[in-house]
């Protein structure tokens, strides 16, 4: 039911029309919450380092996490000690803040924070209370810039820069707020961020396929090595169709297995009654490594910037780096 409703957001007509009254109520709630933070009725907390928020105004995947990975690498190249704070969607830790390492369980920290920690090696912490998690990064890991992954609507954490990402293929759907459409906030929110970037072919940035890595052992290939082969393709991301299309463009014949975003995998989800290879995303692989075998591979992705967009990103990062560590303001 939920999947069918979400598909209707990106098609003319559909069941979402019946939900317009609920979308109006949701919009009033969003506006009231934003006003409460602007007027100080709800508390905003600042930490002693610049904070860059990466997020979107739609539900579902838009390329936020690959962009976060690219931003981390850019900041590392500038000599900054960067840390990432995330809500940890899908994970349930015994206590927060919860430090994430490459050996953490996705059941504890969620899939995206685990992938960020595994790929970048920077300090990553999950905490439903973002200010507490960000403060922990500054105090315990001595980071000098914090990236809040998927934090655009978490106004309790004061921020020094905002990047909003939109999926170029799906756009903003029907343009309605939840639950009639995919929007978390009205479209005009995009005009208030420092950078509004679009993800997709020919847009501000896109993802190119990288190496193909075995989940068991250390074997790797390039995607072209599989050209002409038939294989299973598993994707539990915001837009599985994008992953499947990338494989087909590389010349592979794929049997699609689309899973919900943040899907909690069981062995039967990736173990099929044949000997065909199974390809998945890195985000899926971190949750499947414990029961994978020699058939299972993940495709790494390399983010490519449009030169103009990259210049704007670099300018924002330079501004944030110039802030340096700030004196933490007292809690009101």
Q: Specify binding-site residues.
A: 58-65
d(CA 23, CA 240): 26
Helix axes 64-77, 307-323, angle to 10 degrees: 60
Provide the sign of the torsion angle of the four alpha carbons 81, 87, 89, 92, taken in this order. positive
Eight-class DSSP state of 55: E
In this structure, the dihedral spanned by the alpha carbons of residues 103, 106, 112 and 116, taken in order and rounded to 10 degrees, is -10
CA 95 to chain centre: 23
Angle at 199 between CA 288 and CA 190, to 5 degrees: 115
Give which of 221, 205, 129 is closest to 168, Cα–Cα. 205
Q: How far apart are the first and last CA of the chain?
A: 44
Residues at the annotated binding site for ATP? 58-65
For the chain, counts of helices (H) and of strands (E): 9, 13
Contact in structure between 259 and 269 (CB atoms under 8 Å) = yes
Contact in structure between 146 and 140 (CB atoms under 8 Å) = no
């Amino acid at each position: 039911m939920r999947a069918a409703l979400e598909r209707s957001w990106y098609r003319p007509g559909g069941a979402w029309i019946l939900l317009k009254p609920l979308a109006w109520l949701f919009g009033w709630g969003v506006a009231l919450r934003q006003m409460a933070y602007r007027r100080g009725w709800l508390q905003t907390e600042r930490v002693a380092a610049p904070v860059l928020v990466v997020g979107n105004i739609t539900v579902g995947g838009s390329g936020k996490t690959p962009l976060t990975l690219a931003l981390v690498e850019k900041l590392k190249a500038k000599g900054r000690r960067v840390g990432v704070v995330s809500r940890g969607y899908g994970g349930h830790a015994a206590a927060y803040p919860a430090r994430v390492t490459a050996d953490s369980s996705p059941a504890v920290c969620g899939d995206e924070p685990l992938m960020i920690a595994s790929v970048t090696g920077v300090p990553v912490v999950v905490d439903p209370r973002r200010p507490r998690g960000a403060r922990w990064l500054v105090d315990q890991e001595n980071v000098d810039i914090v990236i809040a992954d998927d934090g655009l609507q978490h106004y309790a954490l004061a921020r020094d820069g905002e990047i909003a990402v939109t999926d170029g293929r799906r756009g903003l759907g029907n343009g309605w707020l939840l639950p009639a459409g995919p929007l978390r906030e009205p479209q005009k929110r995009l005009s208030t961020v420092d950078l509004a970037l679009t993800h997709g072919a020919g847009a501000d940035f896109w993802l190119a396929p990288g190496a193909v890595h075995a989940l068991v052992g250390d074997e790797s290939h390039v995607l072209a090595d599989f050209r002409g082969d038939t294989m299973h393709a598993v994707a539990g991301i915001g837009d599985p169709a994008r992953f499947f299309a990338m494989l087909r463009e590389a010349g592979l014949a794929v049997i699609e297995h689309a899973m919900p975003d943040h899907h909690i995998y069981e062995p039967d989800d990736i173990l099929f009654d044949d000997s065909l290879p199974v390809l998945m995303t890195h985000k899926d692989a971190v949750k499947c490594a414990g029961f994978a075998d020699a058939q299972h591979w993940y495709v790494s992705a390399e983010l490519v910037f449009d030169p103009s967009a990259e210049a704007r990103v670099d300018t924002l990062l330079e501004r944030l780096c110039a802030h340096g560590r700030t004196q933490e303001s007292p809690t009101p």
